[in-house]
């Protein structure tokens, strides 16, 4: 919260009525929010019965349900200005090497992130690693490019740990990183974190995202967001390679990073690059 200048973003989205305007297919599970000193108390409904266990692999159809729900949100808030959202500069700086170095002593997560970026530098070719590190040093470079595209309300932390599925709704939890951005920013981070838990190829997921966006799809924003996906989660993709429990897992993680992410980001960098 401190790192993204959050003074109670999720609670304020509830109090302001923004979450109340989400399309019916999305359930935020919040019942009330009240100020409590310099913080907030958020009261939520119990939704653990719809929990997705870490071992659960979603079908392509189940994942499409998530994409459709998110697309309905993007359309509802398209072009709208909402106060207090996370900036894309803060979004991309949150898990940067500089942040990890500052927070290492107090955060086990940041120790993990810092080590991941060291591994990233070792396993990713320099023509891709150098632009990624340039953006991590100055995240506003990429943020400004994305802010020049059509923006809407995005969840900002869309991955399976923050999602639940019911028969007709998608539960979306943890709105603390909600931002104004092109929808592709949500998609890229989701793909980087949760793509391996969906019974579909990444190319199929790309096709599904394009399909669900329809005429609203912006291919330039998608290319920029895929660069952002590696800026945001490159440390994680590198640790998946280095820390795989066996040779088969290492080969699969390396193929994901080298054959998909590096290839797609390299292509995107032909359109725009910070260096």
| C-alpha distances in Å from residue 158, one per residue of 35, 49, 155, 173 | 26, 19, 6, 9
Residue 274: which H helix or E strand, with range?
A: none
Q: What is the pLDDT of residues 6-30, one digit of tens each?
A: 999 999 999 999 999 999 999 999 9
* Percent of the chain whose pLDDT exceeds 70: 100
Mean pLDDT over 173-186 rounds to 98
How many helices and strands, by DSSP H and E, does the chain display? 12, 7
CA atoms within 13 A on the CB side of 217: 15
Strands of the chain (E only): list them.
26-27, 30-36, 39-44, 152-154, 163-165, 170-172, 179-181
Task: Give the integer Cα–Cα distance in Å for 112 and 260.
Answer: 23
Tokens 């398209």 locate to 78
Calculate the average pLDDT of the chain. 96
Give phi and psi for 29, each to the nearest 5.
Answer: 70, 5
pLDDT of residue 192: 96
C-alpha angle 174-162-264 in degrees, rounded to nearest 5: 110
Residue written as token pair 């019942």? 31
Q: Give the angle subtended at the CA of 220 by the CAs of 214 and 222, to the nearest 5°.
A: 65
Res 49: pLDDT: 87
* Residue pair 221/145 in contact by the 8 Å Cβ criterion: no
Q: Is the pLDDT confidence value at 245 over 90?
A: no
pLDDT of 65 reads 97
212-215-220-226 Cα dihedral, nearest 10 degrees: 0
Residue 249 has pLDDT above 90, yes or no: no
| CA dist list (Å): 78 to 3, 5, 143, 153 | 26, 24, 18, 7
> Residue 267's CB: how many other CB atoms inside 10 A?
11
pLDDT band at 51 (very low <50, low <70, confident <90, very high): confident
Query: What is the structure's pLDDT at 76?
Result: 98
| Contact (Cβ atoms closer than 8 angstroms) between residue 255 and residue 114 | no
HSE, side-chain direction, 13 A CA sphere, residue 62: 17
Mean pLDDT, to the nearest integer, of 130-138?
98
pLDDT digits (tens, 9 = 90+) for 55-106: 899 999 999 999 999 999 999 999 999 999 999 999 999 999 999 999 999 8
Per-residue pLDDT at 264: 98
- Determine contact, residues 164/171, Cβ cutoff 8 Å: yes
Residue 54, pLDDT score: 86
Residue 217 has pLDDT above 90, yes or no: yes
Which tens digit of pLDDT belongs to each residue from 24-48? 999 999 999 999 999 999 999 999 8
- What is the rounded CA–CA span in Å between residue 63 and residue 195? 10
198-211 CB burial, b ≥16 within 10 A, e <16: bebebeebbebbee
pLDDT at position 243:
86
């Amino acid at each position: 919260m401190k790192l993204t200048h959050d003074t109670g973003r999720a609670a304020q989205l509830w109090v302001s009525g923004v979450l109340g305007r989400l399309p019916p297919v999305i359930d935020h599970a919040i019942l009330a929010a009240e100020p409590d000193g310099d913080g907030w108390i958020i009261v939520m409904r119990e939704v653990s019965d719809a929990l997705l266990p870490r071992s659960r692999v979603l079908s392509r159809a189940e994942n499409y349900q998530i994409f459709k729900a998110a697309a309905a949100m993007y359309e509802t808030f398209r072009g709208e200005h909402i106060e207090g959202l996370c900036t894309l500069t803060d979004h991309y700086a949150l898990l940067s090497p500089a942040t990890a170095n500052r927070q290492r002593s107090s955060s086990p997560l940041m120790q993990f992130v810092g080590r991941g970026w060291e591994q990233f530098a070792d396993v990713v070719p320099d023509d891709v690693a150098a632009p990624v590190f340039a953006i991590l040093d100055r995240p506003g470079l990429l943020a400004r490019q994305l802010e020049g595209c059509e923006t809407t309300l995005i969840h900002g932390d869309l991955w399976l740990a923050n999602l639940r599925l019911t028969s007709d709704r998608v539960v979306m939890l943890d709105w603390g990183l909600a931002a104004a951005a092109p929808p592709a920013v949500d998609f890229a981070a989701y793909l980087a974190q949760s793509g391996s838990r969906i019974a579909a190829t990444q190319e199929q997921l790309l096709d599904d995202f394009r399909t669900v966006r329809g005429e609203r799809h912006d291919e330039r924003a998608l290319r920029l967001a895929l660069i952002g996906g590696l800026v945001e989660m490159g440390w994680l993709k590198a640790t998946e390679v280095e820390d795989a429990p066996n040779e088969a897992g290492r080969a699969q993680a390396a193929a994901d990073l080298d054959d998909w992410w590096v290839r797609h980001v390299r292509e995107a960098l032909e359109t725009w690059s910070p260096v």
